[in-house]
């Protein structure tokens, strides 16, 4: 379903007050016009719609914003024993048009592209049993 957020009450009020950020709508930052992007979050079968959005000057900046958030969230997902590979941002504009999808797995792929070193292979057996064997 495509949601045209420019027609929602919150979108209208935010635009009217010229607010940005936590409760805001599209505005300007340092003279640069800002657009609102919605970072819907997919995690496995669950999908949470972003009804607030964030402001960025361009789609490219919004993509970098998604990357930064995925980097932040990666560590917390691991702490909660949740799989980052099952997560993705599906980003739309204020009209609900899909702009891009960022699977969290893309972060690792970016690292591999730039790494000359081979990926170390895991030892046979787990780390605990290896230590026990050495003793």
Partner 1 sequence: MRSPARGRKVTDRGSPRIEEGKAAVLRHLESFARLFDTDREILVGGLGPPVSHLAGHELIPVDALLDTPMFILSGWACRAFSLPDGRRQILDFYIAGDLVGYSSRPPSRAKASYLCLTNTICAGASELIARTHDQPQRYPGLTAAWRGIEDEIERRLIDQIVCTGRMLAHERMMHLIGDISRRLKRAGMGSNDGFVMPLTQEALGDALGLSTVHVNRVLQQMRRERIIRTALGRVEILNPQLAEDAITTPH
The binding site for partner 1 (CB under 8 A) comprises: 13-14, 17, 19-24, 39, 41, 48, 50-54, 65-66, 68-69, 71-73, 76, 79, 89
Residue 50 vs 96, nearer CB to partner 1: 50
Residue 6 vs 50, nearer CB to partner 1: 50
Identify the CA nearest to 53 among candidates 103, 3, 102: 3
CB 80, min distance to partner 1, A: 9
Query: CA 75 to CA 84: how far, in whole Å?
Result: 9
CB 65, min distance to partner 1, A: 5
Query: Cβ neighbours of residue 43 under 8 Å, at least 6 residues apart?
Result: 82, 86, 87
Query: CA 55 to CA 20: how far, in whole Å?
Result: 7
Check if the beta carbon of residue 20 is closer than 8 Å to that of residue 27. yes
Residue 19 vs 132, nearer CB to partner 1: 19
CB 131, min distance to partner 1, A: 28
């Amino acid at each position: 379903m495509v949601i045209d957020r420019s027609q929602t009450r919150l979108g209208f009020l935010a635009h009217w007050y010229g607010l940005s950020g936590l409760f805001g709508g599209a505005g300007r930052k340092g003279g640069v016009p800002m657009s609102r992007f919605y970072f819907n979050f997919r995690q496995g079968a669950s999908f949470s719609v972003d009804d607030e959005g964030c402001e960025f000057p361009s789609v490219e900046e919004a993509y970098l914003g998604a990357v930064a958030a995925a980097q932040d969230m990666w560590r917390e997902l691991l702490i909660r024993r949740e799989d980052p590979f099952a997560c993705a941002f599906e980003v739309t504009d204020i009209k609900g048009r899909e702009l891009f999808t960022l699977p969290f797995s893309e972060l690792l792929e970016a690292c591999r592209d730039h790494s000359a070193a081979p990926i170390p292979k895991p030892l046979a057996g787990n780390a605990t049993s290896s230590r026990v064997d050495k003793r």
